[in-house]
Amino acid sequence: MATVATLQSWIGGRWLGAEASMPLHSALNNSLIYHTHAEKIDFDEAVTYARKTGVPGLMALDFQQRAARLKALALYLASRKEELYAISHLSGATRADSWVDIEGGTGTLFAYASMGSRELPSSNVLHEGPAIALGKNGGFSGTHILVPRGGLAVHINAFNFPIWGLLEKFAPSFLAAMPCIGKPATATSYLTEAVVRMMHESGLLPEGSLQLVIGSTGDLLDRLNGADVVTFTGSADTAAKLRTNRNLIANSVPFTAEADSLNCAILAPDVSPDDVEFELFIKEVAREMTGKSGQKCTAIRRIIVPQQHVDAVGTRLRERLAKVSVGDPSVEGVRMGALASKDQQRDVAERVAILSRGNEVLFGAADGFKPLGEGVADGCFFSPTLLLCRDGMRNDAVHDVEAFGPVSTIISYGDMDEALALAARGKGSLVSTLVTKDPLIAARAVPIAAASHGRVLILEREASVDSTGHGSPLPQLKHGGPGRAGGGEELGGIRAVRHFLQRAAIQGSPTMLAAVTGEYVRGAAVQESPLHPFRKYFEELKMGDSLLTHRRTVTEADIVNFGGVSGDYFYMHFDDIAAKDTQFGKRIAHGYFVLSAAAGLFVSPAPGPVLANYGLDNLRFITPVAIGDTIRARLTCKRKVDRNRVDDKGVGQGVVAWDVQVTNQNDELVASYDILTLVMKRG
């Protein structure tokens, strides 16, 4: 008989666990596959290790360097994904289900590596500008910065996505220089243990930046302080218990919850059974019922349908569900696997019994449910189950009871107001879908639905070509919802990194603010030298290096010539009579001529370290420039970002943002913007 492996925790830089404890079984046939370990974890050691080793190790890197590590880690895990697929099979997941967990997880690492590289500085101070003048004389200003908290992040995850659940939290907290202690749900913790082993074997993680807890969290939460953060994904009941931990409350430890919720899909009254959108609705609901065997926090639990289309929706969904083959995913043709455990199977059955009271069962186990594969009789399979509630305003269970499996309920409505009221009865959800052809319906319904849902998908034929679907949280968009859904936020691009940083307002002179933020702040001291800033290599440039250009007087010929080149003959530039009747009282130069003229004033034309200008940010035209006005520009190195990249010839490059101020003969600001350039490194 083969030896059953004992899972181990990664604590204090070593693997802990040899003595077997709780048995874990395959969801496919209930065979014993792993044990958790019996050894107790010293959480004082874990917390101390994170603070004393993890924080300094992460702080030795800057945002850009940590982003580069994330990308390398994603590539490493992607190269070993088949090992993870083989283990994921034991959880009852199909290849498609596992793809969401495994490649969705590595994809999130890639996404945060890319966003961090594009949007974060090559330092550990993130400036939230612009700075604001707080005094009349320009010597006192204020702004905001975000800095690493100096604490650790405890990530407590659910059983349904043991890899993605860890990685989608790890990525932004790693970028924010917070060491992590990951605590997966025990039922599928073997998958989390496997991916954590790979992450450490990669050699890419600074020591102490990631620890793993298999089993109970013990007194871990009691050892945290105000510099730390706790995130949780799971049931609303467990979230409520953890949130009220006395130590978390006493020390104001941030707690973010993403809880299971009764998400809905609404079929708008403008869609008929003959429309493309009707079929899109049916397909989306069926996919969400059967994907991951319905074990998704975003799954559609309530199908809100106009009274006149209830029977058509029920018929079409029954037809689709009847074609879904359930069983061991290794059997050809199987499209839906098992629930994660026997406990989960019993829980879903109990909740379906509650939901069935007073409602009709349109499709379920009685409709020929027979899982495919050897030994599956002992597995954790559950039939797709579709119920019908004809009076959702009076039936509380459909809005309160969630069967966390392939279970959903059709709820009928009379008009759009009732549909939106039914959606809100879920008391807060992660996501809702509105299927409509009518932009006016969307414009009216979505703001109402958004008050009680974290995300709203509007689905119709145009969006369906590229839509990622109802149940797909994306790294670029916020994941989370109000009320029952936990009231928290995850993902959402760089917003998620900001959740793990500490925001502080700072006040002082522009020169001091520039020194702290690492960005030039207008009014701060500048350095001028005979060498043009565009002649300096990336390493040689310093924040505050500046050039004040010579002057240029704008003539009528300039305006006429620019109009001829650009094709812009707007009357403000060419019609003297019409221009006199405007607020300016005279003809003015094209704004883009002012930009072009400014570039002519500050550009150093010979080949050199500045390789390319690839964009403008924060462009504003402030004071109009008239014929006879004289302009000049000040070009100042605002910030440098070392993205640690080289070109195809092996030459290093960095990104430099330049602050540009164009003024007239009265020293009035006429144009203001940032130029972004690629600048060559010398070494």
Catalytic residues: 258, 297
* DSSP character string of 414-465: SSHHHHHHHHHTTSSEEEEEEE-S-HHHHHHHHHHHHTSEEEEEEE-HHHHT
- Contact between 382 and 352 under an 8 Å Cβ cutoff? The reply is no
Distance from C-alpha of 656 to C-alpha of 644, rounded to nearest angstrom: 13
Distance from C-alpha of 564 to C-alpha of 572, rounded to nearest angstrom: 15
Per DSSP, the three-state class of 41 is: coil
- Contact between 435 and 424 under an 8 Å Cβ cutoff? The reply is no
- Contact between 250 and 228 under an 8 Å Cβ cutoff? The reply is no
Distance from C-alpha of 472 to C-alpha of 299, rounded to nearest angstrom: 9
DSSP structure class, residue 203 = T
Distance from C-alpha of 213 to C-alpha of 121, rounded to nearest angstrom: 32
Q: What are the tokens at 470?
A: 């109802």
Q: What are the tokens at 665?
A: 């003969």
Per DSSP, the three-state class of 501 is: strand
Identity of the residue numbered 626? A
DSSP structure class, residue 50 = I
Distances 535 to 599, 608, 636 between C-alpha atoms, Å: 15, 6, 13
Distance from C-alpha of 24 to C-alpha of 190, rounded to nearest angstrom: 9
Straight-line distance from the first to the last Cα atom of the chain, in angstroms, rounded to the nearest whole number: 61
Identity of the residue numbered 315? T
The angle that helices 81-88 and 95-119 make with each other, rounded to 10 degrees, is 140
- Contact between 470 and 265 under an 8 Å Cβ cutoff? The reply is yes
Length of the chain: 683
User: Would you call 40 exposed, middle or buried from its count of C-beta atoms within 10 A (0-12, 13-18, 19+)?
Assistant: exposed
Distances 333 to 91, 95, 328, 371, 670 between C-alpha atoms, Å: 18, 12, 10, 12, 67
